Structure 1
Amino acid sequence: MKTAFVGKGGSGKTTLAALFSRHLAQRGSPLLAVDADINQHLAAALGAPEDEAVMLPALGDQLPAIKEYLRGTNPRISSAAAMVKTTPPGTGSRLITITGDNPIYDAAVREVGGVRLAVTGPFATEDLGVACYHSKVGAVELLLNHLVDGPGEYAVVDMTAGADSFASGLFTRFDATFLVCEPTVRSVGVYRQYVGYAREFGVRVHVVGNKVDDDSDVDFLREHVGDDLLTSFRRSAYVKAAERGVARPLAELEPANAAALDRLRTALDGCVQDWARYTAQAVEFHLRNAQAWGNAKTGEDLGAQIDPTFVLGPQALEPFGKEVRNVP
């Protein structure tokens, strides 16, 4: 299952993404966490010292190699340079799984706090005024477009804050999206903006209350988000420490907040994966990007990259056998 944590800047989405990732890892669940936020703090939230967090290899730096690997022998893709962030897989493309071995994971995935983590990389000084951060996040979109995950396997992505998530089709790449919402007017405003866009594409959104002090905070959230409110995290010494980069043992988490993590996992596990729809959405956003800028940038008709017979899903792994699925 694939999930994203989104919300207003400062809402605590990175803290909760880290807590949920640790919760899954402690249960022994196959897991890949990805920091796709312009503010790269997920590694620190998982317990990495700041000097180690900034030294993690960046997916954004591996983009040419990622494209070369994923295109495989797909005859519809003329070269790695012709691939864009939305290029969907087709016959001959290489697919990836949560835990399978591949050179992308070798280069850019490291274990942090017991969690397998990939980071997009920070917005570098040389990018200022000349580049868009979403070009780095494109590596994440390519990975998710080629990822086949099964029951009990998880990809957890910490997304950019607010409506920035809609700068690409990345927001459609998840089985469920957890929107972290404080009991404030500003945070509720971000919720309304987000669901206004997301519902148009059938994106499943669950609101997760955070920094809740008492029942009046829960009542405020339910008044404004209704049944979208899945659960809430109470303000606590444990969560406060986590927001300061101190990853205490999960056994110390307050029972109410531990129960909230269980509710997140139960909601995610209850999702039904619709691979045909997932593939169709990838194609839709690829065509949008091709017409908006991709064709002009590459000098090719990127619509020709679409394989009309291909549907991503477990059945698409069969031609690759054990190499991709990592079956002993």
Structure 2
Amino acid sequence: MRVAFVGKGGSGKTTLSALFARELARSGAPVLAVDGDINQHLAEALDPGAGPFTAPPLAAHTGEIKDLLRGTNPRIASREAMIKTTPPGRGSRLLHLLGDDALHARHVQQVGGVPLMVTGAFDESDLGVACYHSKLGAVELYLGHLVDGPGEYVVVDMTAGADAFASGLFTRFDMTFLVAEPTRRGVSVYRQYRDHAAEFGIPLAVVGNKVTGEDDLLFLKEQVGDDLLTHLALSPWVRSAERGTPQGELESANRHALTVLRETVDARPKDWPTLHRHAVEFHLRNARAWADTATGQDLATQVDPEFVPGPASLT
């Protein structure tokens, strides 16, 4: 299952992404964490005492990733003709989670017991010439070509705020958790995300964070209603971990909230047809908007009408 954590900057979505991924890994579940936030702090959140993350970022090798994923698909003539939304077809190289392939071998590094891939930071060479979402294209391609199985998890720390809607990446998930603090600014992103998610049928649940008492919880319930799934209390353990000196264990109430998140994810049916339909829809949108002109090709022809998404595609 693919799980996204979104929310306003500073809401704690990176912390929640790390806590959830660590909890999954601790249980023995196959899990991959992906840092898709411009600030690139997920490695530190997974293990504040870890050394530098040395695996190369996905965005630095987008060309090679395209070559790997297009495989022998006759509808994709070259890496230049493959854009971030190009959906898989017959002949495409499909991936197993943490499989024996060049992409996972090059880009995955263990941090705090969790396999992690990073998109890459926004640096000076990008200023004025690129947006951060161009870097997220490699993540979009990865998820588009991943055939994850039962009991497997991909946990993505997404960009902050409504920027998550700048690409079709937000439709690539089985479950999206919106992390919200109990303040007006904390829930401001919720309404934007709720409306966009409803338009595309994206499952969305709100996770309250840094809750200090009944007043905070009541405020969240008033603001988001039944979309409030669970909440985490303001955590001394998280604060000590962020300082690099974790004391004891995560509080039992907060661990219970993580259990609720996992139960919610596990209860979702895997909907391969919808995932693929969204991929095709956003590919055609991009083709019409800019990509046909940029590549000089009709990229609608990259859509393979005979391709069957999901495990059946592996045979």
**Distance (whole Å) between structure 2 residues aligned to residue 85 and residue 246 of structure 1:** 40
| Aligned residue-pair number | 315
2:238–2:246 CA contact under 8 A, matched in 1 = no
Which residue number in structure 2 is paired with residue 237 of structure 1?
236
Query: Unaligned stretches of 5+ in structure 1?
Result: 319-328
Output the TM-score relative to the length of structure 2: 0.97
- Relative to structure 1, is the Cα distance of residues 242 and 15 closer, same or farther in structure 2, using a 3 angstrom cutoff? farther
1:80 aligned counterpart, secondary structure: coil
Which residue number in structure 2 is paired with residue 305 of structure 1?
302
2:182–2:216 CA contact under 8 A, matched in 1 = yes
- Relative to structure 1, is the Cα distance of residues 217 and 309 closer, same or farther in structure 2, using a 3 angstrom cutoff? same
1:121 aligned counterpart, secondary structure: coil
1:60–1:139 CA contact under 8 A, matched in 2 = yes
Which residue number in structure 1 is paired with residue 16 of structure 2?
16
1:14–1:45 CA contact under 8 A, matched in 2 = yes
**Distance (whole Å) between structure 2 residues aligned to residue 66 and residue 288 of structure 1:** 22
1:116 aligned counterpart, secondary structure: strand
Q: Percent identity?
A: 61
The residue type paired with residue 273 of structure 2 is A
1:70–1:95 CA contact under 8 A, matched in 2 = yes
**Distance (whole Å) between structure 1 residues aligned to residue 81 and residue 48 of structure 2:** 36
1:47–1:246 CA contact under 8 A, matched in 2 = no
State the shift of 1:242 in Å. 3.6
Which residue number in structure 2 is paired with residue 157 of structure 1?
156
1:35–1:42 CA contact under 8 A, matched in 2 = yes
**Distance (whole Å) between structure 2 residues aligned to residue 129 and residue 248 of structure 1:** 43
1:45–1:245 CA contact under 8 A, matched in 2 = no
The residue type paired with residue 40 of structure 2 is Q
**Distance (whole Å) between structure 2 residues aligned to residue 40 and residue 116 of structure 1:** 15
2:33 aligned counterpart, secondary structure: strand
Write the deviation string for residues 301-322 of structure 1: whole angstroms up to 9, x where unpaired: 110000011121011112xxxx
The residue type paired with residue 209 of structure 1 is G
**Distance (whole Å) between structure 2 residues aligned to residue 291 and residue 248 of structure 1:** 54
1:4–1:157 CA contact under 8 A, matched in 2 = yes
Instruction: Provide the alpha-carbon RMSD of the alignment.
Output: 1.3
Which residue number in structure 2 is paired with residue 32 of structure 1?
32
Which residue number in structure 2 is paired with residue 5 of structure 1?
5
1:158-197 alignment to 2 at 5 Å? 158-197=157-196
The residue type paired with residue 255 of structure 1 is S
**Structure 1: which 4+ aligned runs deviate by more than 3 Å?**
48-51, 242-249
State the shift of 1:51 in Å. 5.7
- 1:276 pairs with 2:282: no
- Relative to structure 1, is the Cα distance of residues 173 and 245 closer, same or farther in structure 2, using a 3 angstrom cutoff? farther
**Distance (whole Å) between structure 1 residues aligned to residue 50 and residue 128 of structure 2:** 26
The residue type paired with residue 157 of structure 1 is V
- Relative to structure 1, is the Cα distance of residues 50 and 111 closer, same or farther in structure 2, using a 3 angstrom cutoff? closer
State the shift of 1:263 in Å. 0.3
The residue type paired with residue 189 of structure 2 is V
State the shift of 1:268 in Å. 0.3
Output the TM-score relative to the length of structure 1: 0.93
The residue type paired with residue 253 of structure 1 is L
State the shift of 1:56 in Å. 3.6
1:284-299 alignment to 2 at 5 Å? 284-299=281-296
